[in-house]
Chain A
Amino acid sequence: MDNELQAEKKSVPFNRTHQAIEAERMLRRIKDDFSDNPDAMDYFYDLYEQVYCKGESLHKEEKVVGTMCVQVPEELIYAAGGVPVRLCNGFYTDDQVGAEFMPAKSCSLVKATLGMLDKGSTLPFVDKVENIILPATCDQKRKAGAMISEMGYEVYDMEVPPVKESEEARLYWRRSVHNFAVSLKKITGKKITKANLKDALAKVAAAQKAYRTLHVLRKESPSIFLGKDAFMVTNAYFFDKIENWTAAVNRLNAELEQRKEKKITAAQRRAPRILFTGSPAIFPNLKLPVLIEESGGVIVADETCSSNRMLYDMVAVDEYNTENMVASIADNYLKPCTCPIFTRNDDRKRKLLNMAKDFAVDGVVYQSFSGCQVYQMEHSSIAKALQAEGIPMLFVESDYSPDDMGQLSTRIEAFIESLKAKRRRKR
């Protein structure tokens, strides 16, 4: 980065940067285009405003450890006294900056993350991040590691097996996680012990418990909670203080519980129920979820790494000694992971089919970022599996640019209409 540009960046207050304006715009849309948002959502709206619009730091006194994928065991980072902050980024502004690092047809998420890290000084919540944990997942993330190193960050390459079914993979990954646990001492300066790991497990379990409760509340029909808010909630888990996040989700759950009793619904009784899968919806790139719900659909569940895949599966431990805890944590981050980087996707198919049944889903929307080959390659197999069960699916290839909004809204509206028509025919 040339000095001139850097000087200019420093002189612009954060709330007037392109990012802040982009964030502001999406936040307004999420808040104001929908009536009757739950009061407990204010915590999250304010959090986004504070972090993304005002650029305030959340973890001033903490050792922030950046993570690049859902496979990084956060319990270990908490145990070592760090705060894991997921760096996967959703800003179009950063996507444009990041374009210089990657080939033209690359994933927006990776480009945006690179762009965000490159600018360094205007980073809102991660102003002090020095260490970044990068699991070797997809090709683009893998190759991003060296570039991030060059920007001056300490990158820890975490090895992930490409096959997850075999015993070899389990052992390989367990070793990889074990090595990571040991290496964390160098990053945070604190050793992982039985006591602090146990506390970390409890902390994450409490968050997951809150998430699960919310997850179950979304089974209600007619829906009492909108998917755009659900994405805001889970996305906040990327960077929020975990205790605050858990408390806020518990408040939200309590309010939704009341709304359920009072029969206050968030969507119409006949609103098609959508299951969202594929590339993650990360603020402020929530255009697809928002479009779905503006068109009269309601997202009742998702299978993405910014939400369900990150929070759903909980760790059980038989004997609370360090070695067992680390092994159990390791298994939990690999075996149930439905990331498309692995060779097989039977687990993902099974999970989607089960969710579709559980949440009485009318249709599936499959988002794939242009340039995300792995999600594109899984498209046909997922489509087939859903088709066999008679579940309609819309495959949407999109990126962070706002250019395709018009085209997208036409397609989404048509899909929602077709689901409504199908419902009518059924009756």
Chain B
Amino acid sequence: MRNKIRNFLNNGDLGRFRFWLQLSLFILFVYGGYAAINMGDSLPTFSCTYVDGKPGTCFLVPLQHRMVTTPEKLFSYAGMAILTGLFYFTLWFLVFNKAWCGYACPLGAIQDWITALRKKLGMQYVTYSWEQFKVLKKIKYILLLLLIFIPMGIGSGIFSYDMGVPFCMICPARTILPIFSGDFSQLTIDFSSKTKMIMTSLGMLITGIFLVGAFVKKRFFCFFCPMSALHYLLSKPALLKLKKDGSKCTKCGDCYSVCDMQIKEIADDVESRNILQDDCIMCFKCVAACPEEGALEVDFMGQPVFEATVQGYIKRMEKANKNG
């Protein structure tokens, strides 16, 4: 019985499973609120607070709000509020790890749909060179630091209150996701103050870059996402894990070929057991494309839930060759 279930999972069509799960979770994170679902305000994904029907709020929103405080308060009650938020965030996160990115994030889903559209049009995608990759991957950490320090700067009077929730102002989720509930109001430039004008203009600009970027580069935005950076800092103890057995790896590079995030370590690193990298979105396409028995596997609390097998690999590849 156990083996039967395992075979069923390992032979499964991961792409299809992922598509439907992403679509369902997209509906949840954009319309769930209308069904009176409340998931709190510490979600580790872009359940955007500007969306009318949100079932909960992206953790980056309360984080930026609560950081607007003075250092004295930060080390007393304000600090407590941040820590409680972080606690709930961590709880959510620890269960699914970065699979929040690959399966749950509504902005991630939109990028995958844009990719599907490009694929339909038969257009080639672009990739970064290794040099570009190494520089660009640092941006998400810089954004994470900024979204913590700018609010602290506001609290200390260095920046104006118009700089509030600075990351949300430039986040494409704020401008794009509300559209799905018919709200186009975020697609405007706020002229009420100079700061607001600059921030909202920047937001509009980044939205444009996002749409073009996602069209030419797979998961374009995830590369710069500060949520992804925050995830990675907490990912070590998470229950869902991406594991590699380097002794079984032939370095054939199939996993790297299918990786949306251009993660080289997945193919080249034969030492690490926990192969999760900071850019990983845990979509597990690599596991589906690995032809070595057990070289890559997805574990939940030490139990393998999806493992690389020759049989599963061949099934999926034959199907992909037929449909692709």
Contact flags (1/0) for B245-257 with A, using CB distance below 8 Å? 0111111111111
Check A324 for interface membership: any CB of B closer than 8 A: yes
A331 pairs with B253, CB closer than 8 A? yes
B247 pairs with A331, CB closer than 8 A? no
> Known contacts A198-B324, A324-B124, A350-B270; is A332 also within 8 Å of B253 by CB?
yes
- Residues from chain B with Cβ under 8 Å of A336 in the complex: 250-253
Q: B212-249: which have CB < 8 Å to A?
A: 246-249
- Residues from chain A with Cβ under 8 Å of B172 in the complex: none
Neighbour of A316 across the interface among B122, B250, B258, B310, CB < 8 A: B258
A154 CB to closest chain B CB, in angstroms? 31
Q: Which residue of B lies closest to A165 (CB)?
A: B268
Most buried by A among B130, B250, B314: B250
Chain A contact residue count (CB 8 A cutoff): 33
> Please, how many angstroms separate the alpha-carbon atoms of A314 and B324 in the complex?
17
Neighbour of B257 across the interface among A194, A316, A354, CB < 8 A: A316
> Known contacts A328-B257, A350-B270; is A320 also within 8 Å of B317 by CB?
no
Check B285 for interface membership: any CB of A closer than 8 A: yes
- Residues from chain A with Cβ under 8 Å of B264 in the complex: 167
> Please, how many angstroms separate the alpha-carbon atoms of A224 and B247 in the complex?
26
- Residues from chain B with Cβ under 8 Å of A147 in the complex: none
B258 pairs with A351, CB closer than 8 A? no
A316 CB to closest chain B CB, in angstroms? 4
A318 pairs with B253, CB closer than 8 A? no
- Residues from chain B with Cβ under 8 Å of A423 in the complex: none
Check B72 for interface membership: any CB of A closer than 8 A: no
A198 pairs with B321, CB closer than 8 A? yes
B321 pairs with A316, CB closer than 8 A? no
Neighbour of A350 across the interface among B246, B254, B314, B318, CB < 8 A: B246
Neighbour of A319 across the interface among B119, B291, B317, CB < 8 A: B119
- Residues from chain A with Cβ under 8 Å of B256 in the complex: 331
Neighbour of B317 across the interface among A314, A327, A353, CB < 8 A: A314
Contact flags (1/0) for A93-112 with B, using CB distance below 8 Å? 00000000000000000000
Check A313 for interface membership: any CB of B closer than 8 A: yes
Q: How large is the interface on B (under 10, 10 to 19, 20 to 34, 35 or more residues)?
A: 20 to 34
B112 CB to closest chain A CB, in angstroms? 12
Q: A342-384: which have CB < 8 Å to B?
A: 347, 350-351, 353-354
- Residues from chain A with Cβ under 8 Å of B34 in the complex: none
B313 pairs with A314, CB closer than 8 A? yes
B268 pairs with A331, CB closer than 8 A? no
Check A205 for interface membership: any CB of B closer than 8 A: yes
A216 pairs with B310, CB closer than 8 A? yes
Neighbour of B254 across the interface among A323, A332, A353, CB < 8 A: A332
Check A317 for interface membership: any CB of B closer than 8 A: yes
- Residues from chain B with Cβ under 8 Å of A202 in the complex: 318, 321
> Known contacts A212-B310, A336-B250, A354-B248; is A321 also within 8 Å of B258 by CB?
no
Q: Which 7 A-B pairs have the closest CB atoms?
A: A320-B324, A316-B254, A331-B253, A318-B258, A316-B289, A336-B250, A313-B252
A→B interface (CB under 8 Å): 165, 167, 194, 198, 201-202, 205, 209, 212, 216, 312-321, 323-324, 327-328, 331-332, 335-336, 347, 350-351, 353-354
Q: List 22 A-B contacts (CB under 8 A).
A: A165-B268, A198-B321, A202-B318, A205-B321, A209-B314, A216-B310, A313-B252, A315-B254, A316-B255, A316-B289, A316-B291, A316-B313, A317-B321, A319-B125, A319-B324, A331-B253, A331-B256, A331-B257, A336-B251, A350-B246, A351-B250, A354-B248
B→A interface (CB under 8 Å): 119, 122-125, 130, 246-258, 264, 267-268, 270, 285, 289, 291, 310, 313-314, 317-318, 320-321, 324
18 other A-B residue contacts (CB within 8 Å) besides A319-B324, A321-B123, A332-B252: A194-B122, A205-B314, A212-B291, A313-B252, A316-B254, A316-B257, A316-B258, A316-B291, A318-B285, A324-B257, A328-B253, A328-B254, A328-B257, A331-B252, A332-B253, A336-B250, A336-B253, A350-B246
